[in-house]
Structure 1
Amino acid sequence: MDIRNLFQSLPWAYSAPALSHMRIRPKESSENACMIQFFTWEARHPVMSWWKHFQSEVASLRDMGITQVWLPPPHKATRKTGQGYDAYDLWDLGEFDQKGTVATRWGTREELLDACKTAKEHQLLILIDAVLNHKMGADRRESFPAVPVDPTDRTKEIGKERVIQAWTAYDFTGRMGKYSDLRWTQEHFTGIDWDDSSKSKAIYKFTGEGHQGWSKHVDKELGNYDYLLGGDIDHRHPKVKEDLLAWGKWILETTGAGGYRLDAIKHMDRRFLLDFIKSGKARNADRDMFAVAEYWSGKQVLRTILPYVRAFRGQTTFFDVPLHFKFHQACEQGQAFDLRTIFNDTLVYCRPGDAVTFVDNHDTQIGQSLESWVDASFKVHAYALILLRPHGHPCAFYGDIYPNKECYDAAVARNVTKLLTARKLYAYGETVDYFLHKNCVGFVRRGSSSRPGCAVIISNGTMKSSKALCSIRMNMGLESVTKTYIPLLDSTNTPVRIDSKGWGEFYTKPKQVEVWIQE
């Protein structure tokens, strides 16, 4: 059975898709929505803080067609240069002298709030990166009982209970109880990967009084994937839950953000996460709050993410990791890849209303833990497929657009920027697919009464025709009769004239992409 049909045949598949009740664009606007991840892994600006850099780009982002911005984690990290995924204090947004700095890697609290204010003035929605799975950089060591577990099956103990010494006490002396008076200790965690007394690295499950072991409501990879890194937070602990739910409301109110990007959800208790999302939505102004969850699977197949889509029942969208890996596969295989299958077994194919589509992000960059970079040979192709079609909610990547030392390609950036403009201005109306050839596919957007459409041709190989072009005859509708379509990406391509029945012979050069718009 086709995976989409299988998914739709299940009773719970008909719960309202997440995007149907989330705000992804300015209120009263009918423009196409689009998100951007506004940072790379090593992002730094040479002359200003990152928050000031973002603030300076707000107007340009809106002009580009961006409606939402996913900002990097705003809280105090373990190191001065920490990106925030090494979370130390969620309540310190660059306000207190902790970990040898007042500002975070990204700037000060004042700079963050100023940038958020500018974004709100331009009707640009902010997403907060919520890193709730773990803490790092504790202030003191503690001694307590724990037991080592098998790293390949965390349900199996591989040694006797012993007293370990670990960095689990967080005093936050720089903050002195402002915003939250909770001081974290070992009772608030489930495990850690270092015993300081024996100087040994292993995954230790805490077993002292009050500890319940790993949560059962996490991913089953490695037996139980509650533990990821650092001090693993026990989301079942009443004080932990109270503190994190309070932070969730506070961060939205403080920044004026419209939702969250949820980090590492497969490692966290699902019941807590549902409460966290619902708590954020309970704020009167944010009942249409947006949420997108990060879920990576070692198998990277659609079936591993579907149970999470089911469990959250429209409370959060999910990054379409299966689609990202299809893009990476197409990049690696070149013309051996069949473009007609590009959406098979992806979230946007079977559940578009729950899918946030993306090409690359900070984790997929070369050298990073989930390296699977889509290089220039297929980068623009992939962006055309997520930006110019109506399905899912696309997320562009800073590294593909802005100059940077990690992954910038000027030609790619130029074309991705053009595609963003095309999404804003032309990608409207009925979609008709012409996925006819292994190495050449196309589709048209026929436009609406108030917005024009476009035609898109994508090639990943050399055609065998005498023209040596990827060419497909496509119908733009009777409204386009006798109209002329011009190329958006390659100005050397000859314009296409639409015949008396709405047909035009659209094309692109081998291994290229072209978008055709009305003259």
Structure 2
Amino acid sequence: MKKTKILFPFLFSLLLVISGCSKDDDEVVDGTDDITGGEEPEVPTPQDPEALDLSQYSSGQKVMMQTFYWDVEPRFEWWNNLSDKVEGWADAGIDRIWLPVATKGQSGGYSMGYDPSDYFDFGEYDQHGTVPTRFGTREELENLIAKSHDLGLEVIADIVLNHNSGGGLEYNPYREKDTYTLFNEENGNASGMFNRNYEHFHPNDVSQSDEGDLFFSEQDVDHDVPYVQGWLWKNENSVAKYYKNEMGFDGWRFDYVKGFGTWVIEDWMNEVGGFAVGENFDGNADVLVDWVDATGVSAFDFAAFYKMEEAFDRFDDLNYLDGNTLRKINPDKAVTFVANHDTEKDENEDNRIATENKMKAYAYILTHDGYPTIFYSDYENEAFNEEIKQLIEIHNSLAVGDVQVLHVDNDEYLMKREGNAENPGLILYISTGSTTKRRNVQTNWNNVTLLDYSGNSTYTPTSDENGMVTIEAPANGYSIYSITK
């Protein structure tokens, strides 16, 4: 990993610090006055503090990349595009890449894969108007997986188990009408593997409906049917085992898990194992906790996503960052994120984090516990790229130890990672105020000069013999402090 590159001027000018719009200018943080409400202690500052070599530290965890956005372009070239990028991602500190649904959907060359038709057509059969999928051919996908493995990256498959699409029309006696539930070599399943008919969808003589929410009712897959279980995860040539043993996938992103029982995930994982995360699209942390407890796998932390959206956008109040999330209750099972293919395609402002606030949100997820995910479009945005790389490096090196919120109000949020005997940890300071902020905090670092490893502030204070120190956040931005050599 490259060394941290942060430039510090030889001399620092005096900063005029204004309290801005904080509601608590005279409140106390860890027993000390807010610098906006009292005088800053006179502490000598070295002129040229030397940054730690972050490559010598490890948090024991890296970061996942979501490798797509909705309706990626150019069509038929996406696997090759990703093959050109994985080396750079590995160098930046990524350890897993989450691919889009890799098999043929009803929309053929326009499908993003969430309308699954043939679970075994990775871009080799001529159906739905195309041989390659929207993303390319099977050979190109296999080349991408092999290259990723050579770089030490795990490859995560996006799996849609709830519903199917693109089958042929047949009479369905359970619905007493024709339904598009016939999947065979002539009707949406050219591979001939996992052929299906109306008996394999709800309702039938086994069960009437799923335990979960209905989404695509007429083609809602019935997991209670033994034939379906065999083809999806139990047989030696099942979807789960074929993807793992033949294609080389290392783990799973389960789509729309609200649509079926948690036992489906349990059974799948018992057969093939690997890393897994579920898309339980719900902002209620208790719902996510219950699902994680029932399945034993991770979930995307939609509760944390919505708390960030509320804090930075909807209510402009950082108190929401201290709300209830999966990360706070079970960080080992929380996969955090700032954006994904669904939030970015939706124009609903309450379902996305505004562009101008995204880097504060990335600073949040890349310093707190949980397993962070980077969204392809954000990483590839030239305005964000270097900043995200720096945050990944900080996450992979210094984001260690228990999380302690030191202070939070409407426009300030301070959080400390405790570190350990080998790692100093860090302190995150986010401000949405219109002026520079400073605040006196308690640290674990006695008589040591600190610096902002994000590079957003040039202020380099020195802690006293008790670990008290005043740190700074730029206007409407963030800093991430730790010790120097």
Please give the TM-score of this superposition, normalised by the length of structure 1. 0.75
- Give the equivalent residue in structure 1 for 2:31: none
Shift of 1:174: 9.3
Rounded Cα–Cα distance in structure 1 between residues aligned with 2:309 and 2:404:
25
1:240 is paired with a residue whose SS is helix
Question: What CA deviation, in whole Å up to 9, does each residue of 1:24-63 have, x standing for no partner?
Answer: xxxxx863221111111122248x8211121211121112
2:173 is paired with a residue whose SS is strand
- Give the equivalent residue in structure 2 for 1:187: 199
**2:268 maps to 1:302:** no
- Give the equivalent residue in structure 2 for 1:198: none
- Matching residue's letter, 1:33: K
**2:339 maps to 1:360:** yes
Rounded Cα–Cα distance in structure 2 between residues aligned with 1:183 and 1:378:
47
Shift of 1:181: 3.7
- Give the equivalent residue in structure 1 for 2:436: 469
CA contact (8 A) 1:363 1:369 kept: no
Shift of 1:387: 0.8
Rounded Cα–Cα distance in structure 2 between residues aligned with 1:102 and 1:259:
26
Q: Pick from 363, 374, 378 the counterpart of residue 400 of structure 1.
A: 378
- Counting only pairs closer than 5 Å after superposition, residues 411-490 of structure 1 correspond to structure 2 as 411-429=383-401, 431-445=403-417, 447-448=419-420, 450-451=422-423, 453-462=425-434, 468-478=435-445, 481-490=447-456
**2:165 maps to 1:136:** yes
Rounded Cα–Cα distance in structure 1 between residues aligned with 2:85 and 2:348:
29
Relative contact order, CA 8 A, sep 6+: which one is greater? 2
- Give the equivalent residue in structure 2 for 1:268: 260
- Give the equivalent residue in structure 1 for 2:142: 113
CA contact (8 A) 2:452 2:479 kept: no
- Give the equivalent residue in structure 2 for 1:329: 310
- Counting only pairs closer than 5 Å after superposition, residues 376-387 of structure 1 correspond to structure 2 as 376-387=355-366
- Give the equivalent residue in structure 2 for 1:97: 126
For structure 1, list consecutive stretches of 5 or more residues without a partner in the other structure. Answer: 1-28, 148-162, 191-205, 219-224, 282-288, 404-409, 463-467
Q: Pick from 339, 344, 348 the counterpart of residue 327 of structure 2.
A: 348
Shift of 1:133: 1.0
- Counting only pairs closer than 5 Å after superposition, residues 184-263 of structure 1 correspond to structure 2 as 184-190=196-202, 206=203, 210=205, 212-215=207-210, 217-218=211-212, 225-228=213-216, 231-245=219-233, 246-263=238-255
Rounded Cα–Cα distance in structure 2 between residues aligned with 1:502 and 1:63:
35
Give the stretch that moved more between structures: 326-335 or 100-109.
326-335
Q: Pick from 178, 183, 189 the counterpart of residue 165 of structure 1.
A: 178
- Matching residue's letter, 2:432: N
Inter-CA distance 352–484: structure 2 relative to 1 (3 Å threshold): closer
Aligned alpha-carbon RMSD (Å): 2.6
Rounded Cα–Cα distance in structure 2 between residues aligned with 1:181 and 1:455:
53
Rounded Cα–Cα distance in structure 2 between residues aligned with 1:256 and 1:431:
36
- Counting only pairs closer than 5 Å after superposition, residues 6-85 of structure 1 correspond to structure 2 as 31-45=60-74, 49-79=77-107, 80-85=109-114
Inter-CA distance 431–354: structure 2 relative to 1 (3 Å threshold): closer
Rounded Cα–Cα distance in structure 2 between residues aligned with 1:135 and 1:369:
27
Shift of 1:126: 1.0
- Matching residue's letter, 1:416: I
Question: What CA deviation, in whole Å up to 9, does each residue of 1:232-274 have, x standing for no partner?
Answer: 1111112111111111011011232221000111111333332
- Give the equivalent residue in structure 1 for 2:353: 374
Question: When the two structures are aligned, how many residues end up with a matched partner?
Answer: 422
Inter-CA distance 331–342: structure 2 relative to 1 (3 Å threshold): same
CA contact (8 A) 1:141 1:169 kept: yes
Shift of 1:275: 1.0
- Give the equivalent residue in structure 2 for 1:222: none
Question: What CA deviation, in whole Å up to 9, does each residue of 1:388-438 have, x standing for no partner?
Answer: 12x2211111121114xxxxxx43444223211221233234544312433
- Give the equivalent residue in structure 2 for 1:510: 475
- Matching residue's letter, 1:372: N
Shift of 1:377: 3.6
Inter-CA distance 303–444: structure 2 relative to 1 (3 Å threshold): closer
Inter-CA distance 250–371: structure 2 relative to 1 (3 Å threshold): farther
Rounded Cα–Cα distance in structure 2 between residues aligned with 1:237 and 1:504:
63
For structure 2, list consecutive stretches of 5 or more residues without a partner in the other structure. Answer: 1-57
- Matching residue's letter, 1:358: F
Inter-CA distance 429–167: structure 2 relative to 1 (3 Å threshold): closer
CA contact (8 A) 2:59 2:399 kept: no
Question: What CA deviation, in whole Å up to 9, does each residue of 1:476-516 have, x standing for no partner?
Answer: 434x633241452426x333333344333111123211223
CA contact (8 A) 1:456 1:516 kept: yes
